[in-house]
Structures are given as structure tokens and as C-alpha cells.
A and B are shown apart, each in its own frame.
Chain A
């Protein structure tokens, strides 16, 4: 059976899962197990299809469904294959996790909506990736957007969730409209909705740039590129955690896939103007730093993770931007390097962000809160979840020997090739975005010390955190799969990169090829041994040696002496005397005060004398400034405009007839 079979089996199985979820209404356990099993199988088929797509030559097929004059075309090439792999890996892990997660969710909610729309959502994502004409692409895209709207508004009893859902729907459709616009331009040039025609079409430079801008804004809106990210931190936290893992892990990656398809593949980088890559690079740098800075100030665990998605999309965009710049100046091997770095980070981010959202779901499930200020000490109550979550934290902080470091390292390597572009303005911009990448990486490490330190370490800050319990085996399994993959992708990049290398081959007609492993499988050498090399296995070896020494000494030395904490002579320390999430990020709030513009309030009451304090209460609020400077003005302008034109709606029948008449005249005028 060939890859095409599996590529079709994946969405078909997901669709079956949705139908199963609908039919088994009422049989709670069967419904859950059936849907999760079918989704796992769909994920595994996608993995098989993905690997085939990356290794085998491309395959196309025409389905007997669709419009009468336009049947659906699908294509399994390396680009589709790579994203099928990403989707498949996370979908399988999340489905296994859901077996356990939805069981406890079922006690409080009717889950049929979730069972219907989650598989539909997966179907949509798979469809976008394999679509080979604009019609199937847009249908799948809308399916993905609308199905995920129902996931966001799953707990619709709360008004905040409904608002988040509306914002999401609004921005998803605005984005969809822009993407449709880019297809319209390509359709005009190519004369057909099929991607093959669009690929070969001749585009005038201006129209190519219009397509690029429309695609960048449209896909950027879905991916959460700053400043188009406003929906993301609202929508991702309120969905059930398994759905947020899918949305943050792969849905925003599907937008990256769409961007690559429309701009790199259909428009073609040979049509690119010099500023395309620069624009993507700048948007990426802004997202990377802006996302992590805002993440640092959140104390809602899932909201914090959502802002980190903005950061990581930024890192991916930096890689893509570098690739586009190099491709424009005909350094196709370097363009391949930038693209491989971006794709590697795409895969990595899907895994560790999925893992972290599943971990956040486990925490939410057993401690009943997302508020970090109420958590603490979970490493003792949930030891396994803690280890798995720690893997996610190290990976996202880009520390060796885990996977996040490999992709950031590759991005740095691509950025350091900037002097090759002798004397262009862009070549001076690139090192600056490398510095932004370094800043984002270091801030992410700070943020995840905060997350792990506040949530899992220290003393429990509330009763429910003190009574938290370990989650069941399914949930642990679901988290363990991406955790193991994070380590494997971190230590075996030499084996993974040749697989990804098929994508630059079709997009920029160049590969990294032999140079990746030119000095043997132990050393990762993206360009040449003299240029740079990295051997994660040696790092892992050193750490394993340290771990064995630790275990050896630990078991030999026997009894430990344990005493109370040292408390400067104070009788006893309680949980309220610990550092909190808010206090942890206080220095950064002060340093970047201009960017945050925090509102803080100190409320104190005393017994008649300022020294005799009864109670002190400190409140601080940091708002995303994008709202104040971009979204609210847009809303105000829209409202102003609607007020200007609303007199048109209050006419008598004569008025309306006049309008109709004038419209007809104008249309006739256009005909002539």
C-alpha cells in the first residue's frame, strides 16, 4: 500500500471518529474509547503517510468528490509529508492522553460536542496539508477554523469563553478572507484553481508581492505572528487542554504549512522581492521577543503557554525569513539551511508545546486551577507528570541535549552566514535578529524556571494543590511519547535532518545533503566541520555519567539528615512567604517597564500607625499593548465609520428604491 492510501486513510479515520462520536451518544465509555482509538489510528496513518511522503517521490490523486467542474485534488509531496508527520505524531499522543483526560472531564460536562468537533478539526488540518487545489484547501481550512471554534467555546457557560470564541472566529475569518484573496490573485494569473496551474503561472512582480502580503497576513493571523496574535492568548487557554495541545501544537503549524505552500511553492521564491524575507524576519523577531516578554507576566499557566506559542512561531519565522533572504540572493544551500532550521523548530515546537499543554491539563485536572499563584509543590504529589513537564521546560528553553536547542542552533548557524550577502542592508539586519533570538531564548529559560519553580516546586499555595494526585496511565503515556521524542530529536539530529531535507529539495531546489553528517553520525555539521559542529550525544553522555554518579552516591550514602528550612530565626515559614509568579517576574517588569506599562496598586490597612500593618495587598496588571495601540483604535474607527453610514439604513421605501436605481446605473456604466 502506498503513501497516498495512508494519506487518505488519516482524514477518513478522523472523519469516522467524528461520526462515531455522534452515533455513540449516551454510551459514555464506548464513545470516548472509540473516538480516541480511531483518532490514534488516524494519527498513526498520518505518520506513515508523512514518512512515505518525505522519502518517496511525490504522488497526486483526484477524488471523485467536490464541485462538478472541480473534483478535489490531493498531493503527497515532501512538504505535505513533513506536516503530516508533525500532525500525526501529536494527534496520536494527544488521543491517548484524551482517553484519560476526557474520563474525568465527563463527570462535569456532556462531551459529545468535543467528540464530534475534535476529530473534524483534525480532518480539517490533514486536509489543508494534502490539498492540491484552492477549493479543497479553503474547505479544509474553514473546517479547521470552525471546528476549533466549538472547541474554544466548549465551556460556553462562562462569558469570557464566549468572547474569546467570538474574537477567534472573527480573526480566523478575516485571515481566511486574506488567504482567499491571495488565491484569487494566483487564480487570475494561472486560470485554474488547481495548484499545478498556479505554480506554472507567470506573475507580475507587483502581483507576486500582493499575493505574498495577503498570504503573510492571512496565515500570520492563524499562526499568531505579532501583531496579529490577539486571539491566540484568549482562545488557547479556554479550550479543554487536549484541544489546546492540538491548537497550539499543530494548528498554528498548519498555517506555516499554508504559508510555505502559497509563498514558497505556488508563488515561487524566484518571484520574490528583496524585502519579503526582511519583512518575515522582522515579524519573526518581534514575535519572538514580544511573545516571551508577555508570557513572563502571565500567571495563568495555559495563557502563559499560549504566549510562548507566539514566541516560537516567531523563531520559526526567523528561520523562514533567513531562508527567503538567502533564496533571493541565490544562495540556495543557505536557504535550505534556514528552511530546515524552521522546519526542525516546527516539529520540535509541536512536540514540546503539546507536551506542556498536556502537562498543564494534568495540573488543572488534579489541582483544579490554572492560576500559578494557587499551585506549588506538585513535584511531590505528581512525580511523573513533573518529570515529563520538566522535559518540556528544558526543551522549550533551548538547552542541550534536548531538541529545542538543535533548532535554535541551526537558526543561529543560518544567521551567521549573513556576511555572505556582501554589503546589503539585510546582512546587517540579520545579526540583530540573531541577538533577538538569543534574548528570546534566555527569557524563555527565565520563564520556564518560573513555571516549573512556582507550579511544581516549593510549598503548595492552596488546599487543592496540597491535595493534588498523580494522573492516570493514559495521560502519562500521552505525555511520555512527546517527551521521549523531544530527547531523541535532541540527540539524533543527524538522523532526522536527512529526512527533512526532502522539503528544501522541492521548495528551493537545494539540500544540505552530505554536509550534515560529513564527519560521521556523531557530529552535526550543517555546513562544514570547520564551520561549526555539535555533538549532542557527548553532552548526553556527560549528563548520564553525572546521573549515574548521583544515583550511586545516593543509594550508597543511605540515611539523609533532614531538618526544617533555615528561616533566619523566624519561627516557621509558610507557603505565603515564598516567591510568587508575580514577584519572580518583577525585575523584568521593572526593566521593561516601557514595554509593559504595568498598572499596579498597593492597598494597605494598618492599626492607626503605618508601622502596625494589618494587611498589605499588591495588585499588578500588565496588558498586551497591541490592544491599546492597534486593536482598540481599529474598533473605534470601525464604529465611527458605521455611525457615519447608519443613516442609510433608516430610509423610507423611496429612499431604498433610489439606492437600487443608482446601483443599477453604476453597474450599467461599468458594462459600457
Chain B
């Protein structure tokens, strides 16, 4: 039973600090660009404000438009609850392996795109069309890079994959380096960061995610924004725990979990500093360069797979 409690705590942790971590990246980027930036708690303030506001709906919005934010949030939050963050082998981890985790995020995306099509504005259609196009290219790359790891671990269970990296016998595997590179590229695209999409823009003809949620307000917007923040944190955790899981608690002892939490936060801070630096350094690329970028991610994943077969299985 205590495992379920730890699972709940873990889920609440990742859902709870998601606004803080997003605000941290924002603040850091602002400082790097010589701006003051919003305070760290601004993420929570925005959510509270949005939840309190009365939502405004377009006159032709259907029930799907109103229900979609709940589906998006539920699917993303469930994915977060499934992901082992600071303790492995939590009960919910068995509810979905890594393929099902990706599919849960795809479900959230499917409903975001449908909601965007609902009121029939050109912006919504444009955002949905681009999002689904990019998703179609991202998903194979993402699954391929994950498959490299699954083949090494001989499992798609996330706990088993983490255990595999933690085993002392793990030799240096070049295939994992390729998989990591591919997964990083995919993460940037999936979470809508520069250079694929710019999370800070509204009303640019190149926007993707923001174009889809343009018609939302009030609690609906709050749910979607929050889900998006969770998604960023989830992907960061996925990279960290799959490739750098050191410090994660194997057994549910309080001290081990505290150490794991500190380690996770520390790794997360490093990763987000890198993200902020990268976003400051890069410019957003043209929308039709994105397929090339995603093609690169796919190619890296394929290379990882081939390396695995040629060097590691021993033909």
C-alpha cells in the first residue's frame, strides 16, 4: 500500500512543480537576454487567475471544445503518474509501458488538434495541421530511439529500462548515445521549444501550439497550459531517468527517496539551464525546415539501431 502512496506523492510532485520549472526556464532566458523576467511563482499566479475567470466561448463551439481540455489534462497527468520519477517500480508504472506512455501523449495531442478544428478559424486549422504533421514525423523517431533502449533492456517496461542502465555491467554502448541524441531532438520538437516552435509567441504565422489554443480562455486555458508544463517536465524526466538515472531510489526508503528527489531536481536544473542557453542561442527555424530536423532525429535513431545490431548483438 505504501507504494501506492509513494506513487501518488511522485505524481503530485511532478504535476505540482511543473509551473515552477517552466517559470524557471522563462526567468533564466529573460536574464540571459538582459531582461528582468517574471518572478518564479508567476506560473502559479497565472493558473490561479485563469481558473478564477469565467471562460468565454465562441458562439459555435461544441461540447468537444469544452471537454477537450479535461481529456488533455487527464491524459498528460496520467502519463506523469506512470513515469517513475524518484522511485522505480511504483504500481502505476505497470499500467503502461513506454509505448503506451507515448500513446497517452498522442491522445492528448489528438484532442488538442480536434479542439483547434472545432470553431473553424484559420488559425486553429493551421495549428492543427502543422501539429499533426510534425507529430507524424516525430513519433517514429521517438519510438525508434526508445526501441534502441528497449532492445538493450529487452523490455518496454520503464522500470526495467532504468534498471538496465543502472546495472554495473553496463558497458559503453554507442547505440545509446545515438538514441539519446535522437530523443533530445524529439523532445525539443514535442514540447514546442525553439527552434521548432516558439512558446513565447502569439499571433505569428509560424506558430504551432499557440495557434491551436488561441480560442481558449479561463479554466480551459489553465488546464491546457498546465498540461503543457507537465509535458515539458515529463519529457525532461524521461531523458534524465532513461539515460542518467543515477540517484533514483530503488527501494521505498524515506532517505533514499529524499536523496533521489534532490538528485532529480539537481539534474533537472542542469538540463533546464542547458535548455535556456540553447533557446537563447538559437533562432526559430523556418517551418519547412522542421521536417529536415525531424528527419535528422529519425536518422540518428536508425543509426543507433544499426549500431546496436552491428556492434552489440554480435552478428
Which residues of A are interface residues toward B (Cβ below 8 A)?
A: 376-377, 379-380, 390, 394, 397-400, 405, 409, 412-413, 416, 418-419, 422-423, 427-428, 431-432, 434-436, 438-439, 441-443, 445-446, 449-450, 452-454, 457-459, 519, 523, 529-535, 538-539, 542-543, 545-547, 549-550, 553-554, 560-568, 573, 575, 577-579, 583-588, 590-591
Contacts and interface: CB of A to CB of B under 8 A. Distances in A.
Contacts of A454: 117
Given A560-B57, A579-B117, A587-B130, A412 B104 contact: no
B113 interface: yes
Interface in B42-95: 54-64, 66-67, 70-71, 73-75, 77-78, 92, 94-95
Nearest to B107: A399
Contact of A566 (B100, B214, B315): B214
A416 B155 CA distance: 8
Given A399-B103, A400-B104, A450-B129, 16 more contacts: A379-B63, A427-B313, A435-B298, A446-B136, A454-B117, A531-B156, A534-B100, A546-B73, A550-B67, A561-B55, A564-B59, A573-B120, A578-B120, A578-B125, A590-B288, A591-B133
Contacts of B302: 432, 435
Contact of A442 (B57, B73, B116, B135): B135
A561 B96 CA distance: 39
A533 B110 contact: no
B155 A530 contact: yes
Contact of B155 (A422, A458, A532, A566): A532
A585 B125 CA distance: 11
A560 B70 contact: no
A351 B207 CA distance: 37
Nearest to B81: A542
Contacts of B104: 400, 539
Interface string B107-123: 10110011011111110
A586 B121 contact: no
Nearest to B74: A546
A379 B66 CA distance: 13
B39 interface: no
Interface string B129-172: 11011011111100110010011001111001000000000000
Contacts of A438: 139-140, 143-144
B145 to A, nearest CB: 10
A459 to B, nearest CB: 4
Main secondary structure of the interface of A (DSSP, over half): helix
A336 B136 CA distance: 30
B283 interface: no
Contacts of B143: 412, 434-435, 438
User: For this complex, into which size category does the number of interface residues on chain B fall?
Assistant: 35 or more
A572 to B, nearest CB: 11
Interface in B258-313: 287-288, 291, 298, 301-302, 305-306, 309, 313
A457 B140 contact: no
A562 B56 contact: yes
Nearest to A573: B121
Contact of A542 (B78, B103, B298): B78
A541 B61 CA distance: 27
When A and B form their complex, which 7 residue pairs have the shortest distance between CB atoms, in order from nearest? A579-B125, A453-B117, A458-B120, A546-B74, A446-B132, A442-B139, A442-B136
Contacts, number: 249
B117 A449 contact: yes
Interface in B179-233: 203, 214-215, 219
B140 to A, nearest CB: 4
A573 B125 CA distance: 14
Contacts of B219: 553
A586 B113 CA distance: 16
Contacts of A397: 106, 110
B117 A564 contact: no
Contacts of B306: 428
Contact of B55 (A394, A419, A523, A560): A560
B99 A578 contact: no
Contacts of A545: 74
Contacts of B116: 453
A564 B133 contact: no
Contact of A457 (B62, B75, B78, B109): B62
B157 A533 contact: yes
A419 B214 CA distance: 46
B96 A579 contact: no
Contacts of B288: 587, 590-591
B15 to A, nearest CB: 13
